[in-house]
Amino acid sequence: MKKIIILFGPPGSGKGTQASLIASNFNFSIFDTGKYIEQIVHAPENLKNKNIRRERENFDSGILNSPFWVLNILKEKTSVFSRAGLSIIFTGSPRTLYEAFGDSGQMGLVKFLEKSYGKKNIHFVYLNISPETSIWRNSHRKICVTCSAPILYKKRAPQVCPFCGSPVRQRSLDKPEIIKVRLKEYKERTFPIIERLKKAGYKINFIDGEKPPYIIYKNIISKLKLNDG
C-alpha cells in the first residue's frame, strides 16, 4: 500500500536525515521541497525570468516562497510519484496554510494527497527542537556539493565531505541572520498548519528532535508502526 509521510519541524530539526533513513529502509521516495526550489531559483536558465528572480530573492532571504507557486510545484511532482505507484516522504512541505489547504479555487496539498493515497495512508510527524538548537545546528552545518549530505561540526568547519570526499559549502539559508528570519516564518506561517490538521482528524506524531538521530529514527518507526507493514 502506498503511503505518505510528511515531516514537520523547524529548520535544523533533522527532517532530511530522518527522511533519508526512512526512505532507505522502507522504500519511500523523498521530496525535499527546499532543495527542489533551490535548484529551480538558482538554475542558470532561470536567471532572467522575472517571476523566478522574485522567488529567488525570497528564498535567499529566508522568506517563504509564494504559496500559489509552491503548491503548483507540489501537485505536479506528487502526480508523477503517484502515477509511478511510489510512497513519498515530504521534508519541508506544506509550509503555509494555503499550500496545505488551498482555497475555493485551488485544492490544497492535503486534499490532493487524500484523493491519490487515501486519508488513512497519510501520516504526519513533528520533530520538535528549541530555537537555540535550530540556530546552532544550521550555523554549524556544511552541505556536500556532490552527495548533498549535511555535515555538522563543533569547532573547525570541514573542507571535504567525509562520505564521498567532495568539497562542501554553506547554504545561504544557514547564516545566523537568515535562520532567525526562517524561524519567524516557520512560527507564523507553518506551525498553524498543525492545528488545522488536528481539526481535520489527523494525528500529529510529536517526536523529540533534540535526541541523537538513531533514537529519533526508532521513535518515528515506532509511532508510525512502519515495521508492521
pLDDT at 211: 97
- Do residues 175 and 95 lie in contact, with contact meaning Cβ atoms separated by under 8 Å? no
Q: How far apart are CA 27 and CA 47, in angstroms?
A: 35
pLDDT per residue as tens digits for the range 128-179: 999 999 999 988 888 888 988 888 888 888 899 988 999 999 887 788 888 8
Residue 157: all three cell numbers together: 568547519
Q: How far is 220 from 222, CA to CA, in rounded Å?
A: 5
Predicted TM-score of the model (pTM) = 0.88
Topology given in CATH for the domain delimited by 4-130+187-228: Rossmann fold (3.40.50)
144 CB neighbour count, 10 Å cutoff: 20
Alpha-carbon gap, residue 138 to 59, rounded angstroms: 16
Q: Could you tell me if 188 and 181 are in contact, meaning their C-beta atoms sit under 8 angstroms apart?
A: no
pLDDT band at 19 (very low <50, low <70, confident <90, very high): very high
Helical axes 109-117 vs 67-83, angle rounded to 10°: 10
pLDDT (average), residues 10-16? 92
- The angle at the Cα of 96, spanning 197 to 22, to the nearest 5 degrees, equals 65
Averaged pLDDT score across all residues of the chain: 93
For the chain, domain boundaries: 4-130+187-228
Model pLDDT, residue 229 = 62
Where do we find the cell 517563504? Answer: 64
Average pLDDT of span 89-115: 94
Cβ contact 32:92 at 8 Å = yes
The pLDDT of residue 172? 73
In tens, the pLDDT along 174-214 reads 888 888 999 999 999 999 999 999 999 999 999 999 999 99
